[in-house]
Amino acid sequence: MIPARVNLAAEALDRPTGGGRTALVWDGGTLTHAELRDRVGRLAGTFSAAGLGRGSKVLIRMPNCVEFAVSFLALARIGAVPVTVNSLLGREEVDYVLDHSGAEAAVTLADIAQPLLARRDRIRVFLWRGAHDGAVGLDDAAGDPVPPADTAADEPAFMVYTSGTTGRPKGIVHAHRWAVALGEANCRRIPPSPGDVALATGEWSFISALGHNLVFPLMNGVTGAILEGSARPERVLAAVERFGVTLLYSVATVYRRVLAIEGIEDRHDLSSLRGCSATGEALEAATWQEFKRRVGCDIWEHYGVSEMQMVLGQGPGHPVRPGSIGRPIPGTRVAVMDESYRELPPGEIGRFLVAADSPGFFLGYHRDPAMTARVMHDGWYHTGDLAWRDADGYYWIAGREDDCFKSRGIFISPYEIENALRGHPAVAEACVVPLPDSEIGNRIRAVVVARDGHAAPGLGEALREDLRARIARYKVPHVVELADSLPKSAVGKVLRREVAGG
């Protein structure tokens, strides 16, 4: 049940799980819940005194850092709408988000402020870690604390902009109710344990990391560890050891990169980990099994979309089925249906849909009602994924509708072949795409990144021979190419269209 009046910042900071517990930890220090609440309240007063308030859109352009956390929560506290963007965006991309979102102000760090300072004719710029003429410095800000705004549950709370890998970024508007719906679902999926420390490798400009590393830990009495900077395998594992991380949230690519380094698990004390989560792309069974063997803990896969954050997943309360995205979170209905909205029986592949009545769903795409209507209709959110479920209610992704293709008239799921390829000890990463062919429609093309020391001549044919013994002959790639790396988005997803175009 979602109350009629909800404020995201109050949900994160004013619950009885806080007090003297450590809320955030980073290389520069720590903050208890009480200290964080005080800093957020004072910064909220500063923003309020500057004329920001209910409905004010404010762009946040920062990497993961304590200043991001305080700024995001302070803006939400006064009913303003933080607009999160990747800190690596260039000037043209930042200009687009500023104009499209209608932001009237921006918060950033001094050393990455230039694209925003160039727009001071239209927006106010608030700076951390330095000063600049025409910008408002926040390092010494100490406004009078203000109470949370009395916001409605379905009032806009924040906006996230997608990475824009298939066109212009979309502004996804979320309501204050999102914190309750998804925070409590996260608590049920992975019940907190005393002393838990959560770390996400992704930037908080993306909703999964924002929830799992900042908002949900604060709500549920878990410490959030901040990794500022790149998520290279060595840096991630060093942070796990340094902060005593018990719950690691990342993408499948990061886990594969960790495993691609021989013996990396022996260089760090990872005994604090009680479980890891993976999202964003398929985590195949081969990666799960190797990680379990080498690191010693489960990876709980979950499925999410930027329009909701988390739809279903695995957790410690149920046996892990490697390769599955798990079961629906409480309060969310999903289905595998055909084009006539008939639910398909276990084992059959169909369109993966999510009931649109979940309170965790977005309010819509900013300034794009037509796109909102394209994905939200007939009572369902259309994910664009194909999936199937087993007899026990676990769901399995077969691929994106536009990633799957036919070869010799037979439906090909790239995920299945990639899973088989990654099961070979020489393969670190794999991506399967169609190769147009006038005779059979499409040939099957696999692009493979070999583990260190395994990129020997003849590896491609050796992989094809290995696959012939493990999967149906019609699924064996016609072409296997070796590459030094695969192109990836800012959140670590493989960019299939770039692979196919290459």
**Residue 472 falls inside a structural domain:** yes
**pLDDT mean over 461-476:** 91
Q: How many CB atoms lie within 10 A of CB 19?
A: 12
- Residue 16 domain flag: yes
Model confidence pLDDT, tens digit, residues 174-205: 999 999 999 999 999 999 999 999 999 999 99
Is the pLDDT at 328 greater than 90? The verdict is yes
Q: Which of 233, 234, 174, 239 has the alpha carbon at shortest distance from 206?
A: 174
235 or 166, which is more confident: 235
Q: 24-63: per-residue pLDDT in tens?
A: 999 999 999 999 999 999 999 999 999 999 999 999 999 9
Give the tens place of pLDDT for each residue, 420-467.
Answer: 898 899 999 999 999 998 878 899 999 999 998 888 889 999 999 999
Which residue would you say has higher pLDDT here, 404 or 273?
Answer: 273
Which of 196-210, 231-245, 393-407 is predicted least confidently?
A: 393-407
Is 478 a member of any domain? yes
- Single residue among 200, 222, 244 that ends a domain in this structure: 222
Residue 489 is predicted with a pLDDT of 81
Q: pLDDT category, 136, cuts 50, 70, 90?
A: very high
| Beta-sheet strands, E only, within 401-500 | 405-407, 410-412, 427-437, 441-450, 479-482
pLDDT number for residue 163: 65
Residue 349 inside a domain? The answer is no
Give me the CATH number covering residue 454: 3.30.300.30
pLDDT over 60 (residue 164)? no
**Structural domain includes residue 496:** yes
Categorize the per-residue pLDDT at 237 as very low, low, confident or very high, splitting at 50, 70 and 90: very high
**Are residues 280 and 493 in contact, defined by beta-carbon separation less than 8 angstroms?**
yes
Q: What residues make up the domain containing 204?
A: 1-222
CA–CA separation, 103 and 82 (whole Å): 9
Residue 88 has pLDDT above 90, yes or no: no
pLDDT above 90 covers a percentage of the chain that reads: 79
Looking at 222, 254, 276, the residue that finishes a domain is: 222
Indicate the residue among 207, 222, 237 that finishes a domain: 222
| pLDDT at site 32 | 96
Is there a domain that residue 384 lies in? no
Instruction: Identify the pLDDT of residue 162.
Output: 83
User: Is 346 inside a domain boundary?
Assistant: no
Alpha-carbon separation of residue 385 from 308, 374, 375, 434, 446 (angstroms): 15, 14, 12, 17, 21
% of the chain residues with pLDDT over 70: 98
pLDDT tens track for 73-83: 999 999 999 99
To the nearest whole number, what is the mean pLDDT of the chain?
93
pLDDT for the residue 320: 94
- How far, in Å, CA of 348 to CA of 345, rounded? 6
Give the per-residue pLDDT at 470: 87
Instruction: CATH number of the domain at 208, please.
Output: 3.40.50.980
Give the three-state DSSP class for 82. strand
Q: Given this model, what pLDDT does residue 167 score?
A: 62
Provide the number of structural domains found in the chain: 2
| 168 or 128, greater pLDDT | 128
The two beta strands, 105-109 and 124-128, are parallel
Residue 193 lies in a domain: yes
pLDDT for 16 equals 72
Taking residues 88-116, report their average pLDDT.
94
Residue among 78, 39, 41 at smallest CA distance from 58: 78
**pLDDT for residue 330 is more than 90:** no
pLDDT confidence of residue 415: 82
Q: What pLDDT score does 17 carry?
A: 65
Q: List Cα–Cα distances, 374 to 197, 310, 366, 368, 371, in angstroms.
A: 39, 20, 14, 10, 5
Res 336 pLDDT > 90: yes
Give the bridge partners for 479, in sequence order.
445
Which residues are CB-neighbours of 332 under 8 A, at least 6 positions away?
Answer: 185, 311, 312, 354, 355, 358, 360
Q: Using an 8 Å Cβ cutoff, are 107 and 126 in contact?
A: yes
